[in-house]
Chain A
Amino acid sequence: MAESTNGNKPVLLEVNNLKKYFPIKKGFLKRVVGQVRAVDGVSFFINEGETLGLVGESGCGKTTTARCILRAVEPTAGEICFLTDDGRTVDIATLPDEEMRVLRAQIQMIFQDPYASLNPRHNILDNIGEPLFVIEQMTDREERTERVRELLQLVGLRPEYMQRFPHAFSGGQRQRIVIARALALNPRLIVADEPVSALDVSVQAQVLNLMLDLQRKLNLTYLFVAHDLSVVKHISDRVAVMYVGKIVEMSPTDELYYHPLHPYTEALMEAVPVADPRVRSAMTELEGDVPSPSNPPSGCYFHPRCRYAVDICKKEEPELIELRPDHFVSCHRAGELELEGINRDNHIDEKRIKTLN
């Protein structure tokens, strides 16, 4: 894991101060009376071949961030620098539509709901073959069939199934089809928005394993958006934590889970129920609710719920700084606080190691 963050790999995607505001309109004239700051100055980077996990509670702007990267929504401000396969660095945020259309082949998306993301009236061959036809102009049906066959084998489905329609497949199989479609154009970055949260627990593991396996085979880079901390830990090299439109902490996975620097990250870790009845801790609750992104609190957005908050937190907004090598945090008191990550010794772990041997 350490070698994937050694800095030798080029930065594939660098997002700088990305903002997306949605206007709130009211009245007959639809005047703009306010703004929902869904994404409010987000900065992060992803090295080639690694996975960045993006976690946060619902409404924190993680999906909007993912959509901005594909320009599925137009960002309000900020830069999204992407290293293309011919070595140029382009700013996706300002790229003309015509160039963006070509570039999209290199950035593909996997959606949350595999039941809604496949066309039910097309068979699997057409569902997966469509991007080949549209973008790669692969008009020869035989050639397309051959490529779909390869793709299905790659994701562990039998190629004979390609004449079937999506309704004939289970959720896990559909997610494999969606992954095959995303891989059709040989993308370099895959943005996965909650790809396993709609799946059954026994199938989640299969899809996660497939994604890890494909990453190793094809040198893929993932932006993995999810709310489940266990799933994110499982797949990510580095993790970024979002809260009300901002990144509050970003670091290599183990560092973040075992030595968090932001009080919000600590609170998230404490809230995860431990799958062991012998460790029945009172799950420490975070008081209150996520503030509305249209009317965020002053200073640090987290201060009303933060147990370590002091005066400065109410007045000044903290900056995202690199406190330790490769560990970014935005908190006035970071460094002086002794925060607890997840507990390393756990009964289930020992048992798991035994059964795996």
Chain B
Amino acid sequence: MDNEKKTLLSIRNLKTYFVMDEGTAQAVDGVSFDVREGQVVGVVGESGCGKSVTIKSVLRIVQKPGRIVDGEILWWHRSQDGQEELLDLSQLDAQGKRMRNIRGGEIALIPQEPMASFSPVHTIGSQLVEAVRLHMDVSKREAKRIAIERLQEVGMPSPEQRLDAYSWELSGGLRQRAMIAMALSCSPRLLIADEPTTAIDVTTQAQVLNLLRRLQRERDMSIIFITHDLGVIAQIADFVVVMYLGRIVETGPVDDIFHNPQHPYTIALLESIPTIHQASKELLPTIKGSIPHPFNRPAGCPFYPRCQSFMPGICDKRTPVLEPANDRQSVSCFLHHNSSEEEGQADETALARARAQVSVN
């Protein structure tokens, strides 16, 4: 079904590096995925996997010394008279007029901490009106009407009065709703939600997730949903991208990722998370070790030092690329294919032997 929908955003081989005196952090190292119209793409990964830097690159708000060093961010731009145009966001001037129109207008962001994202000295209303008037040529009164309408849409009780409230007067849940109203103020085609439920309680989280699901259905909007919570991903995403140390390790439809994971990291991650359905007081299976520091990335596959299926001489020598493992999922792992970044292919017989050994273990 998704294949018939038009692509809205296509990230191709994106590389965003932070070049510092101490070394270079390859925060995003060759990430490629597409977002189609009306699709909810979930990006999962632990801290330092590059999920936030990826979306900051899309919005062109990566902070110095971060820089997009390679790759394309293709965006199917639609102007107000309905004209379509293909833009490469990585080539635009980050402070330029075109990028400013797209940012907030066509691609909106719900940041992680609503407390830190609202100005404490301006009312919610003035900030909403400002956002609307920045992207739409409307009068102040009209902008205020739109602001009230958006607040109503996100289920804010008595929206007219809330316009005069300051962000610190609202509770966590209402503040996050106001943030969503602000992101929706200009009817974006793509909404990026960066861990929107991490800082809030589970009951409020349910409210926010239900709200996002409803808005997505009503507006047929695309969402990139970033989180480390697999429960949230399972509930909201159509398509899942799993990242580890700046690279994509696996992509696929949400059902396949949860019920038929292919990459050893995805499998281990799903097993190691305590779920509410598990028997208590039992030891969890764990992923050994911890995430390496970005300056000491292991050579070859970044996951090999922690991997259960490590194949010596293969995984630590060459870096796998993302290739289809079946007709729905793509994996970057030598257990599934033999394509690496380096030129030339490894000896197939040696690889087959190594794979056989791993399955014996």
Contact = CB atoms under 8 A, between A and B. Distances in A.
A282 B46 CA distance: 26
B280 A253 contact: yes
A1 B278 CA distance: 13
Nearest to B236: A273
B121 interface: no
Given A275-B231, A277-B234, A348 B171 contact: no
Nearest to A351: B259
A339 interface: no
A273 B234 contact: yes
A286 B210 CA distance: 12
Given A200-B228, A204-B274, A268-B202, A348 B258 contact: yes
Contacts of B267: 355
Contact of B234 (A209, A228, A231, A275): A275
Contacts of A290: 171, 201
A277 B239 CA distance: 11
A271 B281 contact: no
A14 interface: no
Interface string B268-282: 111111111110111
Contacts of B210: 282-283, 285
A271 B230 contact: no
B281 A202 contact: no
Contacts of B299: none
Nearest to B157: A288
B237 to A, nearest CB: 8
A172 B46 CA distance: 13
Nearest to A202: B287
Contact of A273 (B231, B254, B270, B287): B231
A201 B228 contact: yes
Interface string B69-80: 000000000000
Which of B46, B207, B290 is the most central at the interface, judged by chain A CB atoms within 10 Å of its CB? B290
A233 B206 contact: no
Nearest to B170: A289
Contacts of B174: 289
Contact of A234 (B228, B232, B259, B284): B284
Contacts of B258: 275-278, 348
Nearest to B288: A206
B173 interface: yes
Nearest to B205: A271
A229 interface: yes
Contacts of A213: 283
Nearest to B269: A202
B255 interface: yes
B203 interface: yes
Given A1-B280, A346-B277, A271 B202 contact: yes
Contacts of A29: none
Interface string A336-357: 0000001110111101100110
Contact of A202 (B46, B173, B235): B46
A350 to B, nearest CB: 10
Given A208-B284, A235-B280, A227 B201 contact: yes
Nearest to B200: A58
Contacts of B206: 270-271, 273, 283-286
B280 A274 contact: no
A285 B285 CA distance: 32
Given A170-B290, A172-B290, A277-B258, A348 B277 contact: yes
Given A205-B272, A351-B259, A57 B234 contact: no
Nearest to B49: A200
A227 B209 CA distance: 18
B345 interface: no
Given A229-B276, A273-B231, A352 B205 contact: no
A355 B271 CA distance: 9
B139 interface: no
A209 B275 contact: no
A254 interface: yes
B164 interface: no
Interface in A268-307: 268-280, 282-286, 289-290
Contact of B205 (A237, A273, A279): A273
Contact of B203 (A57, A235, A356): A57
Nearest to A207: B286
A283 B284 CA distance: 26
A208 B202 CA distance: 21
Contacts of B271: 352, 355-356
Nearest to A286: B203
A49 B275 CA distance: 24
Contacts of A170: 290-291
Nearest to B281: A1
A273 B209 contact: yes
B241 to A, nearest CB: 15
Given A200-B47, A273-B231, A274-B234, A205 B286 contact: yes
Contacts of A254: 280
B229 interface: yes
Contacts of B284: 205, 208-209, 234
A173 interface: yes
Nearest to A284: B206
Contacts of A346: 277
A185 interface: no
A4 B266 CA distance: 35
A1 B287 CA distance: 26
B259 A201 contact: no
A243 B172 CA distance: 17
Nearest 6 interchain pairs by C-beta: A273-B231, A283-B206, A271-B206, A234-B274, A205-B272, A205-B284
Interface of B: 46-47, 171-174, 201-207, 209-210, 228-232, 234-235, 237, 254-255, 258-259, 267-278, 280-287, 290-291
9 contacts: A1-B281, A57-B202, A213-B283, A272-B231, A283-B209, A286-B203, A286-B207, A289-B204, A349-B277
Interface of A: 1, 57-58, 170-173, 200-206, 208-209, 212-213, 227-231, 233-237, 253-254, 257, 267-280, 282-286, 289-290, 342-344, 346-349, 351-352, 355-356
